[in-house]
Chain A
């Protein structure tokens, strides 16, 4: 579906992504992990066409994304960035409706179908009940669900999420990730998610890509990637990897430095 071939890119003179390749298959949930500065967000920016590829290419359904128009790309790929400017007090409903932008012309009003899509996106994310509140008044968990509703109303085939769980407590993290998993399973929505928390990545992804200094250090199933050797080499810290007794997925336990032996 999305394949990245020998991608090199970065900012100004600084090369951040130093030649990496991987493929996201339709309907899978792919996680991208790696330490700070390993290039996760930069990779995302390249995939969503914010920054250009210097070398190599990114193709979506066999087509180079550089030749797909911004509008067309936005109809296929939705992105939840890490930071968003929310200083204007839009109503939740109007805010979710902005997700329809790539499907609309400037002056055509929303059709009945658009309204149905917007309403069902809100119902699926459990945000319909506060559709008339202002986005500036929402709690972190509510806002994150509204953002997902907006992305869903875009009707994408692929959803890119850059640390959607940052600033959420553990209950809300699970709630958001379960919600995304549901769309992944039921609607075959392909997910590519940047994770900071390795345990969440382990539980919710089919496959993981581990980045180190702008290159892929390991990729495969969580059990293949999240070995203590890989984590210690990439994160420069000592860990113990156990198995979650319920889900059988790897679980990482960290060890404080004074207990290292």
Chain B
């Protein structure tokens, strides 16, 4: 498909999704009021508060995080030459979540002020993400970077990290546990505007950097030696891209916990639409990831509130992406049986 045309279609879909998601939600805002509020925000109007203070930051968060995770998925799949690599399956999200949990519990234990969370949470998540990346890389290199070796290593790390999270929870106070659990499950309802602002300063340039290195990623997929033969300083560039990717993941997790499989689902769909070249793939995936997560979150926050048994309960968006992505992952594995690469 023509890439420029696709770009405008995705951009159009993004804007459309954004406004539709802004208009619908658990609190009923009539369409006539929606248009008025959209162009004249009014802080005294409760409907305006719903749209601009609650839904708007949440949508921005969904857009940023969806875009970030999808772009990182493309980068990981290219660097590791592994179609199943993404922050969640590699255990990077799990490591970030462990770091984040430690930070949340620690901060609430000592009653530290809010700004400490704003800085401390992403920092702890970053440390966790880098630690798990280092470990999964170590495991995978022992297994010669086979598809199964990497994923198995990631899954095992995730197990260990979630057990450690449970251990910390057991020692924490009940109210801390509930909020941490909700955060970890992949939840956009607790997004803090300050943290979101700081995150955008890292996530957006991060995606742009990955895009700029798209050609390097193309060459890296051919193997370390061929990449060097084509003049790419493979070791430095790989480390650099890993750090940039981890930074993006850390800020995504700090805002909304572990959102599974966006980095797997979206790059695969986009690769079918636009082929494996990374520069178009990364911008396409970033746009599509943003659209997907905004839609998924809109479903998450409305699906139960509109039914009788939900009674106002909002689902964490991680539940939606986890179910969709898990089914996709399974389908991919079953399909692969016929054309095993490794």
Chain B: interface residue total (CB-CB under 8 A)? 24
B219-A87 in contact (CB<8A): no
B226-A94 in contact (CB<8A): no
B275-A94 in contact (CB<8A): yes
B231-A87 in contact (CB<8A): no
Within 8 A of A (CB), among B98-125: none
Partner among A73, A86, A107 whose Cβ is within 8 Å of the Cβ of B231: A73
A74-B231 in contact (CB<8A): yes
A106-B212, A107-B212 in contact; A88/B228 too (CB < 8 A)? no
**B276 nearest CB neighbor, chain A only:** A88
Q: Which residues of B contact A72 (CB under 8 A)?
A: 231
Q: Which residues of A contact B233 (CB under 8 A)?
A: 70
Determine whether A75 belongs to the interface, using a CB cutoff of 8 Å to chain B. yes
Q: Which of A70, A78, A99 counts the most chain B CB atoms within 10 A? A: A70
Determine whether B155 belongs to the interface, using a CB cutoff of 8 Å to chain A. no
Determine whether B218 belongs to the interface, using a CB cutoff of 8 Å to chain A. yes
Determine whether A48 belongs to the interface, using a CB cutoff of 8 Å to chain B. yes
Q: Which residues of B contact A91 (CB under 8 A)?
A: 275
B231-A106 in contact (CB<8A): no
Q: Which of B83, B221, B225, B275 counts the most chain A CB atoms within 10 A? A: B225
A94-B275, A104-B215 in contact; A70/B232 too (CB < 8 A)? yes
Interface string of B81-107 (1 = CB under 8 A from A): 101000000000000000000000000
A78-B276 in contact (CB<8A): no
A75-B231 in contact (CB<8A): yes
Partner among A78, A88, A90 whose Cβ is within 8 Å of the Cβ of B229: A78
Cβ of A48 to closest chain B Cβ, rounded Å: 6
Q: Complex Cα distance A77/B228, Å?
A: 11
Determine whether B178 belongs to the interface, using a CB cutoff of 8 Å to chain A. no
Determine whether B334 belongs to the interface, using a CB cutoff of 8 Å to chain A. no
A90-B225 in contact (CB<8A): no
Chain A: interface residue total (CB-CB under 8 A)? 33
A85-B231 in contact (CB<8A): no
A74-B229 in contact (CB<8A): yes
Q: Complex Cα distance A69/B276, Å?
A: 28
B341-A74 in contact (CB<8A): no
Determine whether B222 belongs to the interface, using a CB cutoff of 8 Å to chain A. yes
Within 8 A of A (CB), among B215-248: 215-216, 218-219, 221-223, 225-226, 228-233
Cβ of B224 to closest chain A Cβ, rounded Å: 8
**A160 nearest CB neighbor, chain B only:** B229
**A106 nearest CB neighbor, chain B only:** B212
A85-B221, A106-B215, A106-B216 in contact; A79/B277 too (CB < 8 A)? no
**B221 nearest CB neighbor, chain A only:** A88
A102-B230 in contact (CB<8A): yes
Determine whether A246 belongs to the interface, using a CB cutoff of 8 Å to chain B. no
Q: Complex Cα distance A69/B218, Å?
A: 20
B230-A89 in contact (CB<8A): no
Interface string of A55-95 (1 = CB under 8 A from B): 00000000000000111111101110101111111110010
Interface string of B250-278 (1 = CB under 8 A from A): 00000000000000000000000001110
Determine whether A170 belongs to the interface, using a CB cutoff of 8 Å to chain B. no
**B216 nearest CB neighbor, chain A only:** A106
Q: Complex Cα distance A89/B221, Å?
A: 10
Q: Complex Cα distance A79/B81, Å?
A: 20
**A72 nearest CB neighbor, chain B only:** B231
Cβ of B321 to closest chain A Cβ, rounded Å: 25
**A105 nearest CB neighbor, chain B only:** B215
Q: Complex Cα distance A87/B226, Å?
A: 14
Q: Which residues of A contact B83 (CB under 8 A)?
A: 87
Determine whether B34 belongs to the interface, using a CB cutoff of 8 Å to chain A. no
Q: What are 14 A-B contacts with C-beta separation under 8 Å?
A: A49-B228, A70-B232, A78-B229, A81-B225, A84-B223, A85-B222, A87-B81, A88-B221, A89-B276, A90-B218, A90-B276, A101-B230, A101-B231, A107-B212
Interface residues of B (CB under 8 A from A): 78, 81, 83, 212-213, 215-216, 218-219, 221-223, 225-226, 228-233, 275-277, 341
